[in-house]
Amino acid sequence: KQEVTQIPAALSVPEGENLVLNCSFTDSAIYNLQWFRQDPGKGLTSLLLIQSSQREQTSGRLNASLDKSSGRSTLYIAASQPGDSATYLCAVFKAAGNKLTFGGGTRVLVKP
C-alpha cells in the first residue's frame, strides 16, 4: 500500500527566505507526482506535475525534484512571500488501480 509522508507538518519562515518542502513515498512504481497548494477553506490548485521519467519541473519561483528510486520529492519555493502562506500537498499517482495517494500536507506561514 502506497504511503505518502510530508515533513514537516508545519513551517514558519520570514519573508524572503527559501522554502524547502519534502515528500516521501513508499512505492516507487508511480506514474507521476503532483504538488498542490490549498488555501484555507478552498480547493486544491495544481502547482507542478512531474512525470515518472522526469527529474524536475520548474514554474517561476517554484522548482520540484523527483528521485523515484529513493521515493522522494522536494518542492523549493525561492524568495518566499506572505502570499505563499498556504498548505502544500503532494500526491503520487499509480496507474495500476488508478490510485492517487495524498500526503498529509505541510502548512506554511511566511511572516512579513
Partner 1 sequence: DADVTQTPRNRITKTGKRIMLECSQTKGHDRMYWYRQDPGLGLRLIYYSFDVKDINKGEISDGYSVSRQAQAKFSLSLESAIPNQTALYFCATSDGTGLGAKNIQYFGAGTRLSVL
Q: Which residues bind partner 1 (CB under 8 A)?
A: 31-32, 34, 36, 41-46, 49, 51, 89, 91, 93, 95, 98-100, 102-105
Nearest-approach distance from CB 100 to partner 1, in angstroms = 6
Q: CA angle, corner 39, sides to 97 and 80, nearest 5?
A: 105
Nearest-approach distance from CB 38 to partner 1, in angstroms = 9
Give the DSSP letter string of 9-64.
SEEEEETT--EEEEEEES----SEEEEEEE-TTS-EEEEEEEETT-SEEEETTEEE
Nearest-approach distance from CB 44 to partner 1, in angstroms = 4
* Closer residue to partner 1, CB minimum distance, 14 or 43: 43
Q: CA angle, corner 64, sides to 58 and 67, nearest 5?
A: 130
* Closer residue to partner 1, CB minimum distance, 31 or 76: 31
Cell triple for 4: 505518502
* Closer residue to partner 1, CB minimum distance, 14 or 41: 41
* Closer residue to partner 1, CB minimum distance, 40 or 112: 40
Phi, psi dihedral angles at 63 (to 5 degrees): -140, 130
Nearest-approach distance from CB 26 to partner 1, in angstroms = 15
